[in-house]
Structure 1
Amino acid sequence: MDAFRQGFGQPAQLTDALRSALLLIPLTDSDRMLTSTFGGLNWVCAFTSEQEYARYVLAREEQGGTCRFHTVFGWRLLDVLVPTVPGPTGVVIDVAGATPMAFPPAVDEVA
């Protein structure tokens, strides 16, 4: 991610790294994947570690309850879970961390 931010990264390799990463996905009280809306788009927050997730929970001041999550590989998040969310949906990694990374919704090519 750092190389990408510095202009040296390759988007395809970054996406491959996301697909192979093991990620923590916050759950709602009804055991559904937590999504947020920002800028007219849906976003799934995913975290690379329990520490990154804890930083997010603290930033949202949710210390009072349990903070449940599901662990999935990035490919499953992108190929199976994100398509279940209505409307364009992107993924943001470690949103409350020092170096968050956003993967915007895929845009279908127009012929």
Structure 2
Amino acid sequence: MGDPRALVGEMRRAVLLVPLAGTGLWSARFGGVRWVCAFTDETALAHFAVRRAPGDRLTDYVALLGARIVDEILPTLDVPAGLALDIASKDGAMFFPPVTGIVADAAAVDSGVAVEGAGYGR
């Protein structure tokens, strides 16, 4: 299964591809969490794009460091938000929930820290 801390470290150092939807990053809501979807490479993104936008329609995306997503972007959202990685992969997806040690403390649902300017209240 692997060491969870090592997996978080790898995610933070990786350049991830995040599809765009309208004026923002593509995300899905599930279980009270807004999951920003990201992919480790163009093949994984293509598998997602084929399911989401069949045909010849292109999927625009941005390349971001995982650390930037969890430290800077997720805390600005108006609800608890995590990172869903490679959701269309044959090998299975990996989810990084909005908890301490993954996202910034201000955005972690388990931190008990109420920081002014966080994207949502506690």
Q: Normalising TM by the smaller chain, what interval?
A: 0.7 to 0.9
Equivalent runs, 1:12-23 vs 2, <5 Å: 12-23=5-16
Given that 2:70 and 2:82 are in contact with CA atoms closer than 8 Å, whether structure 1 keeps it comes out as no
Show structure 1 runs of 5+ residues with no match: none
Match of residue 29 from structure 1: 22
Equivalent runs, 1:86-105 vs 2, <5 Å: 86-98=78-90, 99-105=92-98
Give TM-score scaled by structure 1 length. Answer: 0.83
Match of residue 109 from structure 1: 111
Match of residue 55 from structure 1: 47
Query: Could you list the per-position Cα deviations for residues 69-99 of structure 1 after superposition, in whole angstroms to 9, with x for gaps in the alignment?
Result: 0001111111111112111111111000022
Offset, 1:54? 0.6
Distance 2:86 2:74 in 1: 17
CA RMSD of the aligned region, Å?
A: 1.6
Count residues with an aligned counterpart.
103
Q: Where has structure 1 moved over 2 Å in runs of 4 or more?
A: 61-66, 107-111
Q: Give me the identity figure in percent.
A: 35
Give TM-score scaled by structure 2 length. Answer: 0.76
